[in-house]
């Protein structure tokens, strides 16, 4: 079982699992476990604390060091409110494109890896091909760290990781890191005609939101050789607060993210924001001792730094013939592998421009390129 037909058959099954990050991914994981078990391949789950989600990894080939990890996440973003022309959970083909939630980001890569398990089993592999499927990547790369820690601790440690995010099968050498923060502002309710007798949490939160916008504007002047946008970016993704137009809001919360090419930049930005939040907290407490500001860092995904001579770079460039240096503004799990001491790059089928969109699609030619990539990898591992 290999090739385009097998890939599409597996992709059809993977797309049918609604693994939106708010849901469990265990049905998909169980299906993959059965798929591997039928082929005599043992796999290991690395579950979350309450057992509702799991990573899964498995090794095909000899139990030796120097294997290559094919890494991908099983979760997808929501389809809520998006105008899909077809069922997002049913793979459909129109005009040489395949449609469905996750076809680009990134179940096609998972399907390609699984579709080539039989070819890997039949090949005289000298080094193993390792599958590593994670959960909750889309909400901050929350699932993968526990699995990566196990892979990095093995005596027969892998030599390289290929993270199959959609890159149109081009080699991506770096990605930004991302930190996300939840900010809670508590004030004191009162009548809106007497604003000095209470504290509007919304009005106070606006001061911190304005700082996020200000720092983002300041960063627009920065340059970087490979990233676009070149410098740090900051956005506020969610705001909640208030009860009515004539009530001073007791509570306001917002979530913001910071994406930086370098960790030091993120440290400076975070410190500046926390300093402002601490000052505002003190100012609120003078007027309302029960009020204040809290800042919680939700996620901290490290960036992937360029390592042109790493085993992952060397391998990916040999398999693709691509020698251009690229960096992407989105975060991925590659930086987590690199931080754990396993070199990584990003290379996968489809385009990030189709990810998260209604009618998400991938070209058939990208599936074909991905299959050729997998065949070359198996040949390389057998050499």
- Active-site residues, by number, are 75, 137
- Distance between CA atoms of 166 and 366, rounded to whole angstroms? 10
CB 301 within 8 A of CB 138: no
What is d(CA 84, CA 77) in angstroms, rounded to the nearest whole number?
14
Helix (H, G, I), strand (E, B) or coil at 350: coil
Q: What angle do CA 318, 138, 7 make, to 5 degrees?
A: 50
Strand runs labelled E in the chain:
43-47, 54-60, 68-73, 92-94, 97-99, 129-134, 160-163, 174-175, 177-186, 233-241, 251-260, 292-301, 327-328, 344-346, 361-363
Q: Is the backbone of residue 111 left (phi > 0), alpha (psi -120 to 50) or beta?
A: alpha
Identify the three-state secondary structure at position 166: coil
DSSP per residue over 64-114, as a string?
-S--EEEEEE--B---TT---SS-TTS-EEETTEEESTTIIIIIHHHHHHH
Taking 3-state DSSP, the helix, strand and coil percentages for the chain, each rounded to the nearest 5, stand at: 35, 25, 40
Beta sheet of 68-73, edge-to-edge order:
43-47, 54-60, 129-134, 68-73, 160-163, 344-346
Q: Cβ(303)–Cβ(174) under 8 Å? A: yes
The rounded distance, in Å, linking the Cα atoms of 302 and 326 is 17
Q: Shortest CA distance to 23 belongs to which of 53, 55, 45? A: 53
């Amino acid at each position: 079982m290999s090739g385009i037909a097998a890939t599409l058959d597996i992709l059809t099954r993977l797309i049918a699992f609604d693994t939106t990050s708010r849901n469990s991914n265990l049905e998909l994981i169980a299906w993959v476990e059965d798929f591997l078990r039928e082929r005599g391949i043992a796999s290991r789950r690395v579950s979350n604390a309450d057992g509702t989600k799991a990573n899964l990894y498995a090794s095909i080939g000899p139990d030796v060091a120097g294997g290559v990890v094919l890494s991908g996440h099983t979760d997808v973003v929501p389809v809520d409110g998006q105008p899909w022309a077809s069922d997002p959970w049913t793979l459909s083909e129109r005009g040489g494109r395949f449609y469905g939630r996750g076809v680009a980001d990134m179940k096609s890569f998972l399907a390609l890896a699984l579709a080539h398990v039989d070819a890997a089993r039949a090949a005289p592999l000298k080094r193993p091909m390792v599958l590593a499927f994670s959960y909750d990547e889309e909400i901050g790369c929350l699932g993968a760290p526990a699995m990566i820690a196990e892979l990095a601790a093995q005596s027969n440690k892998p030599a390289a990781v290929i993270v199959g995010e959609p890159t149109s099968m081009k080699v991506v050498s770096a990605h930004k890191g991302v930190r996300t923060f939840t900010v809670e502002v508590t004030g004191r309710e009162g009548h809106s005609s007497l604003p000095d007798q209470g504290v509007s949490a919304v009005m106070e939160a606006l001061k911190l939101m304005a700082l996020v916008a200000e720092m983002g504007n300041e960063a627009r002047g920065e340059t970087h050789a490979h990233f676009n946008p070149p410098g740090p970016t900051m956005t506020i993704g969610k705001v909640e607060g208030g009860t009515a137009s004539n009530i001073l809001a007791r509570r306001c919360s917002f979530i913001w993210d910071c994406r930086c090419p370098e960790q030091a930049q993120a440290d400076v930005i975070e410190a500046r924001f926390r300093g402002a939040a601490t000052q505002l907290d003190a100012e609120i407490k003078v007027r309302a001792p029960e009020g204040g500001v809290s800042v919680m860092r939700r996620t901290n995904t490290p960036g992937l730094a360029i390592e042109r001579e790493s085993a992952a770079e060397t391998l990916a460039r040999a398999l693709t013939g691509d020698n251009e240096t690229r960096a992407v503004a989105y975060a991925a799990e590659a930086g987590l592998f690199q931080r754990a001491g396993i070199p990584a790059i990003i290379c996968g089928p489809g385009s990030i421009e189709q990810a998260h969109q209604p009618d998400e699609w991938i070209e058939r030619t990208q599936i074909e390129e991905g299959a050729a990539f997998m065949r070359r990898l198996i040949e390389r591992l057998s050499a």
